[in-house]
Amino acid sequence: MSHPSSDASSTVEGLYVAHQSWLTGWLRHRLGCPHSAADLAQDTFVRLLTARETPPLREPRAFLTTVAKRVLFNHYRRQDLERAYHQALAQLPEALVPSEEYRAIILQTLTELDELLDDLPVAVKRAFLLAQVDGLSYGEIASELNISIATVKRHLGKAALRCYFAL
């Protein structure tokens, strides 16, 4: 089987023309859903378009596979987040369940927050969520995580800096 020339793979447009169909098939095989595969293939190319630069590629399919795996991981993580959110909603009394519009806003905010805090250490992320989502005090967070109040303050400071620089 001949592969498209490396010249065609030097731009995102070239990558798309040469490999979009293959990538969609690769994702379809993993997801079992042609619609989700097509969406995630598009997301992969959008990620390339928004990247600072696409490096010269000797193995464009290996590169696309790596990017697509990250997109797929984020897809699964979002599904887990949505599932957890819906489980939390199911625990609420009916009178407290937010409207569909408000639920969509909350879910979008949770997703953005998850992405924002993604590469922070787990303890920092957990402390931040305990403070912001659960409304716990420094002492309660320290007790919950079995750390000192000074460490809680340090963790919350790291998370706050991340949020500040994301604005």
CATH code: domain of residue 135:
1.10.10
Is residue 105 domain-resident?
Answer: no
CA-wise closest residue to 3 among 24, 67, 15:
15
Do 61 and 10 lie in a common domain? Answer: yes
- Say how many domains are in the chain: 2
Q: What is the pTM of this model?
A: 0.69
What average pLDDT does range 17-28 have in this prediction? 95
Q: Look up residue 134 and give its two tokens.
A: 């659960």
H helix intervals, the chain: 12-31, 34-50, 60-91, 100-116, 122-132, 138-145, 149-166
Do 80 and 134 lie in a common domain? Answer: no
For residues 61 and 134, the model is more confident at 61
Do 82 and 48 lie in a common domain? Answer: yes
* Residues 139/106, Cβ–Cβ less than 8 Å: no
What average pLDDT does range 66-75 have in this prediction? 93
What confidence tens digit (pLDDT) does each residue in 103-151 have?
999 989 888 888 888 888 989 999 998 998 888 999 999 999 999 999 9
Domain span holding position 34: 1-97
Do 89 and 142 lie in a common domain? Answer: no
Is residue 106 domain-resident?
Answer: no
* Residues 20/41, Cβ–Cβ less than 8 Å: yes
Do 34 and 83 lie in a common domain? Answer: yes
- The dihedral built from the CA positions of residue 100, 104, 106 and 110, taken in this order, carries a sign that is positive
> What pLDDT score was predicted for residue 29?
95
Mean pLDDT, rounded, of the chain = 88
Do 8 and 82 lie in a common domain? Answer: yes
> What gap in Å lies between CA 21 and CA 95, rounded to an integer?
48
Q: Look up residue 78 and give its two tokens.
A: 């979002």
What confidence tens digit (pLDDT) does each residue in 73-96 have?
989 988 988 998 888 888 889 888
